[in-house]
Amino acid sequence: MAPGPWPLAPLNMPNTIPIASDHAGFELKQRLIPVLRSLGYEVEDLGTDTAASSDYPDYAHPLAQRVSRGEVERGILLCGTGLGMSYVANRYPNVRAPVVWSPEIAELSRKHNDANVLVLPARFLTEDQAIEIVKRFLDTPFEGGRHVRRVDKIEVHGDAR
């Protein structure tokens, strides 16, 4: 069969990436958006839209909901420490949202934990560091194998809730 046209990303790497931040992550989010677009991703900017003070849960909930429902495979959240965004996102079923501060952690969060929401501590990363982390996160597949069983055990079921 003649090659192309095809999506810029492979089929197992969906093309749509929602991204959201509070005020502390706003500037870095604005810098990451064109980078993601240049990598071939369709970016959904879920806010915030200004550097004015805002509440991180207001931005984490809509993004985590999209991932939890399977409407998108991965998303990116930013706040000052990454912690608040992570707390919110990880309350949603099937969302695994690590705070990531290095490309190595990004890689392992994908390989071992099948992480699906990348959370960046914007006040503790340079732009270059954040770009490297995002690339590594998006480029690394889940390793599967023994990690499937472990990831399956993350969800809290029934009486334990």
Q: What residue ranges bind ligand RB5 (CB under 6 A)?
A: 22, 24, 56, 79-81, 83-84
Rounded to a whole number of angstroms, the minimum distance from the CB of residue 91 to ligand RB5 is 14
Q: Which is nearer to ligand RB5, 31 or 150 (CB)?
A: 31
Rounded to a whole number of angstroms, the minimum distance from the CB of residue 123 to ligand RB5 is 7
Give yes or no: 112 in active site: yes
Q: Name the residue whose CB lies closest to ligand RB5.
A: 84
Rounded to a whole number of angstroms, the minimum distance from the CB of residue 144 to ligand RB5 is 32
Buried b (16+ CB within 10 A) or exposed e, 64-99: bebbbeeebebbbbbbbbbebbbebbbebeebbbbb
- Token duo for residue 139: 């480029």
Give yes or no: 157 in active site: no
Is the distance from CB of 96 to CB of 90 less than 8 angstroms? yes
Q: Which is nearer to ligand RB5, 41 or 56 (CB)?
A: 56
Rounded to a whole number of angstroms, the minimum distance from the CB of residue 22 to ligand RB5 is 5
| Nearest residue to 30 (alpha-carbon basis) of 130, 107, 117 | 130
Q: Which is nearer to ligand RB5, 8 or 83 (CB)?
A: 83
Residue 124's CB: how many other CB atoms inside 10 A? 13
| Nearest residue to 90 (alpha-carbon basis) of 106, 112, 70, 68 | 68
List the catalytic residue out of 23, 79, 147, 157. 79
Which residues carry out catalysis?
79, 112
